[in-house]
Amino acid sequence: MRLAGKVAIISGAASGMGAATARLFVREGAKVVIADVLDREGREVAAAIGGEARFEPLDVTSEESWAAVVAAATRHFGKLDVLVNNAGISGSAEQDFYSTEAWHRIMAVNATGVFFGIKHAIPVMIANGGGSIVNLSSIAGVIGSEHVHMAYNASKAAVRLMTKSVAVQHGKDKIRCNSVHPGIMPPMRTSGRTADPAVRAERMRFIPMRRPGEVDEVAQAILFLASDEASYITGSEVHVDGGALAI
């Protein structure tokens, strides 16, 4: 088992990539905290996975909420080895791509939420002798996007660079930090224009593999970076995008 004996927190794990990653981590031997603002859905995912998973409520925009989740993980499982900052919202549902309110909301979830997770996980990982942080960015953190509020691009680019900062600042602490950049995936719960079949068909023309990705394909990349198989990989970007960024 690739994560035997490890303890992980996965934010936004009540659905989609987060839930897929939680299921895979437990199959590979980890104890997992499923952390999400969606209480009912999160508890259902934890119950379906079984005894090595537990749900903890998490509003990623709240520093106090992050502190409580990290404390719960260490209280119940004794340590923290892996943090997956997966929680995020799409910018494609906005009617006004210059909405200031949308800017603050998207940045709060997608960028500040990642910062809070890192801030509260790092001291616990240092005390434990190291760890792995995997941050979910996007190809939208590398290139511009036509169908989303620019805050989505800005927030995902912030995640990309925060990842590299943590890698540089905490390599000496045996903490690795890497980012995963999905391309076109199944629509998110918060998707708008990017869920439109016509928009998706148009975007598919620019994917060399000519198909969308699957959440399990992203989960496999996260698993690798979380595991000791990636012991000398930090500050890196893994593109799970069907070749989109190769063009």
Residues with active-site annotation = 152
Q: What angle do CA 89, 94, 99 make, to 5 degrees?
A: 105
Report whether 88 contacts 16 (CB < 8 A).
Answer: no
CA dihedral sign of residues 169, 73, 13, 150: negative
Provide the token pair at 6: 């490890």
Question: CA-based Rg of the chain, rounded to a whole angstrom?
Answer: 17
Distances (CA, A) of 124 to 78, 133, 212: 10, 12, 37
Nearest to 84 by CA among 63, 52, 113: 113
Report whether 152 contacts 93 (CB < 8 A).
Answer: no
Count CB atoms within 10 A of the CB of residue 78: 10
E strand spans, the chain:
7-11, 31-36, 53-57, 82-85, 131-136, 175-182, 237-240
Count CB atoms within 10 A of the CB of residue 47: 12
In the chain, what is the greatest distance between 2 CA atoms, to the nearest angstrom? 50
Provide the token pair at 96: 């006004």
